[in-house]
Structure 1
Amino acid sequence: MDNLSPASPRDIDPLTRQLLEVAAEASAGLAETDPVTRVHALRKTAKRARSLLRLIEGPARDEAATLRRQISEAARALAGARDGVAMADALADLAGHGLPAGFILPPSPAPEDGAGSTPAEADAAAALAALMEHGVGRLATGQAAPARGALIRGLARFYARARRAGRAVDPHDAEALHGLRKEVVIHRYQMEMAAEWWPRLGGFWLGELQRLREQLGRHHDLVVLQAHLADDDPDETAVAVIEAAYRRQGDLARKALRQHRRLFAETPRAFRRRLRTYARAERTYQADEEE
């Protein structure tokens, strides 16, 4: 990746810099020796890549959309490997929220030796990494830098989507909450660029978005656990776990939607105006430094 990295990061726009980081992350993720860690790293990078590719406008738009779909399909090949980890995380979350003592999770059909350990999964991981390392890297260096105004409009557009998804969601609708989580993930990765314009405030904002993402993620992990237990002709103890999971989901949904209301209180227009102000102030500061 050294041949794709500019000598001075300040000479390139934030979106290009983030795309180059994705390419480097993909290479590092594939090099992980532990298969579970490798799958987790690559799936995380794939989410970041897809979030950034959505912002590309202009002549590269069609290529970016195609690449985003290819990354999505390749990441789905590794999705099943995540279920075992999700159920373990759900049980850990339930430990202080009604999990019956001594409960043992019924065996999963997933391989016992861990995610990403089979030859097919290793090939899928390599294919996903190649799309991000070479496809995203090539796109980053080959596209014209987006104008700052176009980038801010894109950030505001996906902010509006995440805002709308949370305001319309039914807290008892697990599928809708999972859809909200996807929109929050997109907004969270995209906001890494805007965080550069005011790092202290940006870091706090990203932290609060991550907290919301994790709350919604724990809710979804419980959905995976419930589905696994329900498919296994649950006994009384498993039924008690399912009921405890429902109660915990209600608590997580309430907290997540309260957090969402705070983070997305601004109208999209006000959000866009605020980002423009931050970007303008940062540009003025850099110009003064260079004089």
Structure 2
Amino acid sequence: MAYRFRNSDRTVKLGLHRIAREQIDGALSAIAGRPRDKAIHEVRKACKKLRALLRIVRSGFPDYTYENAAFRDIARLLAFTRDARVLLDTCDVLLASVPEDVDRASILGLREQFADEMAQVAMGEAAEARLEQARALLAMVRERIPGWTLDEEDWDALGPGLGRVLRQADKAWRAAAREPDAMHFHELRKRMKYHWYHTRLLVPVWPVMMQPRAAELGRLADLLGLHHDLCVLEERLGGFVPGTRYDKSAATLRGLAADRRKQMERDTAPLVGRLLAQEADALVDHWHRLWDIWRTQGRHSA
């Protein structure tokens, strides 16, 4: 099912319950029927969407801290393959556009090492055991969903969380603009991704406006995701000791990664600026009015 509120959700609380169940069921289905690496990816993605869902109702959700930590810990449980996968995939991205004067063969040798590391991490009983633990934890959360309550309803349940994330995103963007390092861009990436998920949840209030915004936020998520991956690769490549195998290849690849990262920082700046051009309070007020129109329309057509 689509990740969004529906007018058939009589209350925000019921929408919260439904969307949470759908995301957990999708993750459980992936564990049961998908290859291990695909299942891990799907479960981690579902946990991110679930944490975003909880964030938009955060101010009136008494169980927020406990349940957010539950989904965070499930994602962390399955993070053991992430860095190895990032190294391999990001290396491939850079190899696809290696300049002609770069020794491609030496970089391919380094890639093979990353591929071996990935294979070692992903195989074995430990990975299967972690997936089984994630399955059990997700099932436990699903059983708790009927007991989730909200102190507020309608837009009062959603507006504060939407605004909070927007203000955090704006703060992160200002910090990244002042000091464009990995930490600040990682924070920006997280906040903009939460806003992307919130926009997707609210697409029905006016699809003709919200869908293009969601698409641009999705594009930004991909760009900032690659930026983060390049930072991870740069850090790993900086650990090769001079005079050892692959040290020269690592230095070359690290230079390519740094150049690509800096170019991405220049390219994403206008997109982030446009998406955050409207002040948080003004956007929340605008979407509040759209929400009221949509809900009124739904009641009249019921």
TM range (shorter): 0.7 to 0.9
Contact 1:51 1:189 in 2 (8 A): yes
More helix by share: 2
Residue matched to 1:134: 140
Q: Structure 1 residues 243 and 208, CA, compared in 2 at 3 Å: closer, same or farther?
A: same
CA distance in 2, matches of 1:19, 1:194: 15
1:29 equivalent in structure 2: 30
Q: 1:150 aligns to what? A: 157
Residue equivalent to 2:256: 244
Partner of 2:124: 118
The answer to whether the Cα contact below 8 Å between 2:59 and 2:160 also exists between their aligned partners in 1 is no
Residue in 2 that maps onto 1:74: 74
Q: In structure 2, do the counterparts of structure 1 residues 284 and 242 end up closer, same or farther at CA, with 3 Å as the change threshold?
A: same
Alignment of 1:267 onto 2:279: yes
| Mapped contact 1:97–1:248 kept (Cα < 8 A) | no
The Cα of 1:93 is off from its aligned counterpart by: 2.3
Q: Residues 73-132 of structure 1, C-alpha deviation per residue, up to 9 Å, x if partnerless? A: 2322321301222122212322225464232225247352663x3322222222223333
Distance 1:288 1:70, change over 3 A: closer
Q: State whether residues 195 and 203 of structure 1, in contact with CA within 8 Å, keep that contact through their aligned partners in structure 2.
A: yes
Partner amino acid, structure 2, of 1:10:
D
Asked if 1 retains the 8 angstrom alpha-carbon contact of 2:240 and 2:250, the reply is: no
TM-aligned CA distance change 1:200 to 1:141, over 3 Å = farther
Output the CA distance in 1 between the equivalents of 2:61 and 2:144: 8
Q: Is the 8 A contact 1:49 1:132 kept in 2?
A: no
Matched, 1:258 2:270: yes
Tell me: CA distance 1:173–1:24, structure 2 relative to 1, closer, same or farther (3 Å): same
- Cα separation, 2, equivalents of 1:35 and 1:165: 35
RMSD (Å) for aligned C-alpha atoms: 2.4
Question: Which residue of structure 2 aligns with residue 64 of structure 1?
Answer: 64
Unaligned runs of 5+ in 2: 1-6
Q: Which runs of 5+ in 1 are unaligned?
A: 1-7
TM-score normalised by L of structure 2:
0.83
What secondary structure, in the 3-state scheme, does the structure 1 residue paired with 2:9 have? helix
After TM superposition, give the deviation of residue 12 of structure 1 in Å: 4.6
- Indicate the percent of aligned positions where both proteins have the same amino acid: 25
Q: Secondary structure at the match of 1:31?
A: helix
Aligned pair count reads: 280
**Which residue identity is paired with 1:33?**
R
Give the alignment of 1:92-103 within 5 angstroms: 92-94=92-94, 95-96=96-97, 98=99, 100-102=103-105, 103=107
